[in-house]
């Protein structure tokens, strides 16, 4: 159950990032306070995405706290790095986010995955 909660937390925080990015691209800049606040009164798709992103963050935190009760921190914490990989890939794939592909970013993602494999690889116990 701990692993399921940890992976749920990763998926929820990734969804939150994507929803918040899309909402902020669609909404007026926060620096333009009056137009920003006036749009928040209406339940338009960007406002709903903003609210859904904040809710996803809260649920992610709840899942993470419950996962920490069941898993050792040294095993659970590296899983959070998966959100970098998921958000990067989804931002490239989803329309409306206008993210561009860079080879350096792909190299960084490969390093993250390699690090996760090294951390999670089963260790032989010394005698």
**C-alpha angle with apex 52: 49 to 57, nearest 5 degrees?**
125
* Mean pLDDT for the stretch of residues 34-53: 83
Q: 79-115 in b/e burial notation, b at 16+ Cβ within 10 A? A: bebbbbbbbbebbeeeeeeebeeeeeeeeebeebeee
DSSP state of 71: S
Nearest to 23 by CA among 51, 63, 55: 51
Distance CA 112, CA 81 (A): 7
pTM metric for this prediction: 0.86
Write out pLDDT tens, residues 3-37: 999 999 999 999 999 999 999 998 887 777 777 67
Tell me: pLDDT of 89 over 80.
Answer: yes
């Amino acid at each position: 159950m701990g692993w399921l909660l940890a992976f749920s937390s990763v998926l929820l925080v990734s969804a939150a990032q994507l929803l918040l990015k899309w909402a902020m691209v669609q909404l007026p800049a926060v620096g333009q306070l009056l137009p920003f606040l006036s749009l928040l009164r209406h339940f338009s798709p960007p406002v709903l995405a903003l609210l859904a992103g904040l809710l996803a963050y809260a649920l992610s935190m709840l899942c993470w706290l419950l996962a920490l009760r069941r898993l050792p921190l040294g095993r659970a914490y590296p899983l959070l790095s998966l959100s970098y990989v998921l958000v990067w890939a989804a931002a490239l794939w989803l329309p409306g986010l206008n993210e561009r592909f860079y080879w350096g970013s792909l190299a960084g993602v490969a390093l993250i995955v390699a690090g996760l494999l090294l951390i999670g690889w089963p260790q032989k116990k010394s005698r």
